[in-house]
Amino acid sequence: MGDPKYPRKKWRKPKRPLNYDLKMEELKTLGTFGLRTKRELWKAHTELSRVRNQARSLLALRQEIREKEEPILLKALSRVGLVKRESTLDDVLNLQVTDLLSRRLQTIVRKKLNFKTPFQARQAVVHGHIMIGDRVVDVPSYIVKIEEESKIRLVPGSSFNELLSETKEQQDVEDSAEQS
């Protein structure tokens, strides 16, 4: 079972962390998705490699065993929204880290509630302004399931309600000025 005081790491560092191209790509991804540290990105890479490893091991199995095991993986990934229901293992192998990062609560809140930046959406999540159904979720890395996506909303009485309504009014004024 192990000592509960020392939990196991959930991420692996890149083999060559000082590679310039890799560093620039990581920084771009950090800014795009509003990640706090590179460790969050490495966790996503590790999770994606685990899923792709499962798909590769399924491809190596015999056909009759594979027919039983494959729908379980595909159903779990489609529930999260990484692949579609009718997808194949090739689609799982073609997944990118951006697909996984786009299913985070922080990213979906930014798109759905029209926050200006991913960092503003992260702040709203961390400070407890976001609800999924009846419960407040304050973990920005929470992976949102497809059925939960429509239940995301701001907490009643949140200070972000006024901020977002002001932002929306400004956007409407700008859009009407551009159209005329």
Which CATH number characterizes residue 129's domain?
Answer: 3.10.290.10
d(CA 78, CA 28): 27
Cβ atoms of 144 and 152 within 8 Å: the answer is yes
Pick from 82, 85, 55, 80: which is nearest to 70 by CA? 55
Cβ atoms of 10 and 46 within 8 Å: the answer is yes
- Domain annotation covers residue 141: yes
Pick from 53, 64, 125: which is nearest to 95 by CA? 53
Q: Which of 101, 116, 141 is the last residue of a domain?
A: 101
Q: Which of 43, 75, 101 is the last residue of a domain?
A: 101
- Number of CB atoms found within 10 A of residue 101's CB: 23
- Domain annotation covers residue 163: yes
| Per-residue model confidence as pLDDT tens for the chain (180 residues) | 567 788 888 899 999 989 999 999 999 999 999 999 999 999 999 999 999 999 999 999 999 999 999 999 999 999 999 999 899 999 999 999 999 999 999 999 999 998 999 999 999 999 999 999 999 999 999 999 999 999 999 999 888 888 888 877 887 788 888 886
Domain that holds residue 118: 105-173
Q: Which of 71, 101, 131 is the last residue of a domain?
A: 101
62/130 same-domain check: no
68/138 same-domain check: no
pTM of the entire structure? Answer: 0.86
96/30 same-domain check: yes
- What's the number of domains the chain is made of? 2
At 37, list the tokens: 């540290």
Instruction: Write the Ramachandran bin of 2: left for phi over 0, alpha for psi from -120 to 50, otherwise beta.
Output: left
- Domain annotation covers residue 59: yes
